[in-house]
Amino acid sequence: MLFEKQMQVDGDTETYELHPNIKPYALKDVGFQVSNAGNYTLERSVDPTSPYNKNQMLKVTVAKDLSGFKMATTNASGNRRINIFKGPHATENVEQYHFILQNLMDREILQKK
């Protein structure tokens, strides 16, 4: 998957883009890790009962030059995209998903399109 200027998670009605004021130190402050390729990656559980229950994850990867990003909700192993807006725990998972994204918007990493 290539880095994009705008991303929309499966099932979400909102589209997100990188904030124009994004800084590398802000990425590290919220928990992004630098990969071997130099990109910034963040993986967070969208399970509101435990941050350690990684059945459903939000994965965000920002290009090392901050020019684009990837964002998806996946299963625990990260090899299959899932729609957290459907299913028996959708309400709770979506609330946690929005909480994580709001933190990224507050830190000027992402913004709504």
Q: Is residue 95 scored above 70 in pLDDT?
A: yes
**What value does the CA radius of gyration of the chain take, rounded to a whole number of Å?**
13
49: Cβ contacts below 8 Å, ≥ 6 apart? 92
**In the prediction, which pLDDT does 47 show?**
87
According to DSSP, residue 5 is labeled S
Q: For 7-22, how does the pLDDT look when each residue is reduced to its tens digit (9 = 90+)?
A: 999 999 999 999 999 9
In the chain, domain spans: 6-112
Tell me the C-alpha distance between 68 and 85, whole Å: 25
Q: Is residue 42 scored above 70 in pLDDT?
A: yes
Among 71, 76, 72, 36, smallest CA distance to 55 is for 76
Indicate the fold that domain 6-112 takes in CATH. Answer: Lp2179-like fold (3.30.1820)
Q: Is residue 53 scored above 80 in pLDDT?
A: no
* Neighbouring C-beta atoms of residue 46, cutoff 10 Å: 24
**pTM to 2 decimal places:** 0.91
